[in-house]
Structure 1
Amino acid sequence: MLTYEDCIGLADLEKDEVAEIAEHERLPYMTALEKGAALLMQPWGDAAIRQMVWDNLCKANQRQKGDRSLELADLYRTTCERHPNPCDRRNSPVRPTHPIWRQ
């Protein structure tokens, strides 16, 4: 049987990153771990994980939670270093778009 720590190691995620995915998506930790692992299999997954951490950081700043903001700023820096892939799904040529927004 695999433990949570085994799954973390297999997913190439840190516990803090999984916690931020869970908070951002309002998921239990194990489901957030699965989602994070699935995201990392996509070319734009690194950017999605960075964005989730960034969103949580912005929310903490808006709520004026100083200690939390500092922790998330450090985590965001670490996440950017661990997941540097610049691919963004919004710029993907295969992403479906609404006919009004096509150029």
Structure 2
Amino acid sequence: MLTLEDCLGLCELDENEIMAIAEHEHVPEIVALEMAQYLVHLPEGTVVIKRMILDDIQHARENDNLAHAEALQNALRHFIDTHPESRPLRHD
């Protein structure tokens, strides 16, 4: 039987990113992990994940949960660093 930790080892996102998706979608971590692994392989999937994390940050700030917003901001930075395709395209 696979544990959540086993599945995280196979996933292309880290635990903080998975937790942000779980928070956004109001689902258990294992379901968020499955969603994340599916989304990361779609053409615009990383943009969707990035938007989820941004929504979580906004919600935390609106509820004056600044420590959580900062933790989510760190998760977002890591996500963007490891998934550069989520960055907007520059049009010069």
What TM bracket, shorter-length normalisation? 0.7 to 0.9
- Per-residue CA deviations over 1:44-72 (Å, capped at 9, x if unaligned) read 11111111111000111111111111111
Runs (5+) with no aligned partner, structure 1: 89-103
Q: Which runs of 4+ in 1 moved over 4 A?
A: none
- Per-residue CA deviations over 1:29-51 (Å, capped at 9, x if unaligned) read 11111011110110111111111
Q: Is the 2:46–2:85 contact (alpha carbons within 8 Å) kept by the matching residues of 1?
A: yes
Instruction: State which structure, 1 or 2, has the greater radius of gyration over its C-alpha atoms.
Output: 1
Runs (5+) with no aligned partner, structure 2: none
- Percent same amino acid among aligned pairs? 34
Q: How much is the aligned-residue C-alpha RMSD, in angstroms?
A: 1.6
Whether 1:60 aligns to 2:60 is yes
The number of residue pairs the alignment matches comes to 88
Q: Is the 1:39–1:46 contact (alpha carbons within 8 Å) kept by the matching residues of 2?
A: yes
Q: Is the 2:18–2:33 contact (alpha carbons within 8 Å) kept by the matching residues of 1?
A: yes
TM-score normalised by structure 2 residue count:
0.86
What's the counterpart of residue 83 of structure 1? Answer: 83
> Distance between the aligned counterparts of 1:9 and 1:51, measured in 2?
23
TM-score normalised by structure 1 residue count:
0.78
